[in-house]
Amino acid sequence: MLPTNNIYFDFIYLEKTNEIIANYETSIPIYSQGLTKINIDSKEITNITFPNQKGYRPISTNTKLFGFDSGSSPKRIIELNEANGDIISELAVLPTNNIYFDFIYLEKTNEIIANYETSTPIYSQGLTKINIDSKEITNITFPNQKGYRPIN
């Protein structure tokens, strides 16, 4: 059973390990952030606490676990070790003036895609695409400041 004093969000499925992974926050006994992993076969629950109360929004590619590090400057996408949450490598550095949300993995193109909003130099919305193989970052700005949510 999951601890009731934690707040869980950003649930994903990692096919490689057959686990459901979610971010958690708790303030009992002290404030901390991390990942909760639930193995679907064994029902084992594992918590990985991140150092310095720094959380990473999980992103799954079915074989790899990535995280969005919004607490760093600049913001970045990092590859995480699925066993212990350690950073393996940095995939991409993102512009710090953008707000990123709704991360998905698109298997057909091997890209991580996220919505973004920015007010610098003017307000705009769009998609950021990060190719995992080439590490190329592409921004697509939506016309007329209309936002769209990606559906995976």
The residues, any chain, with a CB within 8 Å of residue 78's CB and separated by 6 or more, are: 56, 66, 67, 69, 87, 88, 89, 90, 91
Whether the per-residue pLDDT at 144 is higher than 70: the answer is: no
| Distance between CA atoms of residues 73 and 107, nearest Å | 28
**Sign of the four-CA dihedral 48, 54, 60, 64:** negative
| Distance between CA atoms of residues 125 and 29, nearest Å | 39
Neighbours of 140 (CB within 10 A): 12
Whether the per-residue pLDDT at 142 is higher than 90: the answer is: no
| Distance between CA atoms of residues 74 and 93, nearest Å | 6
Whether the per-residue pLDDT at 116 is higher than 60: the answer is: yes
Find residue 60's DSSP bridge partners: 65
Whether the per-residue pLDDT at 131 is higher than 70: the answer is: yes
- φ/ψ of 69, rounded to 5, equals -100, 90
Structure tokens at 44: 């084992």
What are the sequence ranges of the domains in the chain? Answer: 6-145
Q: What pLDDT is attached to residue 119?
A: 81
Q: What pLDDT is attached to residue 148?
A: 59
Q: What pLDDT is attached to residue 149?
A: 60
Q: Are 77 and 91 in contact (CB under 8 A)?
A: yes
Q: What pLDDT is attached to residue 57?
A: 85
Map tokens 């109360």 to a residue.
53
Q: What is the pLDDT of residues 64-89, one digit of tens each?
A: 999 998 877 788 999 998 888 888 99
**Sign of the four-CA dihedral 101, 105, 108, 111:** positive
Q: What pLDDT is attached to residue 21?
A: 92
Given 3.30.70.100, 3.50.50.60, 2.130.10.10, 2.60.40.1220, which CATH number is that of 6-145? 2.130.10.10
Average confidence (pLDDT) over 85-109: 90
Q: What is the pLDDT of residues 1-42, one digit of tens each?
A: 787 888 998 899 999 899 999 988 888 777 888 889 999 999
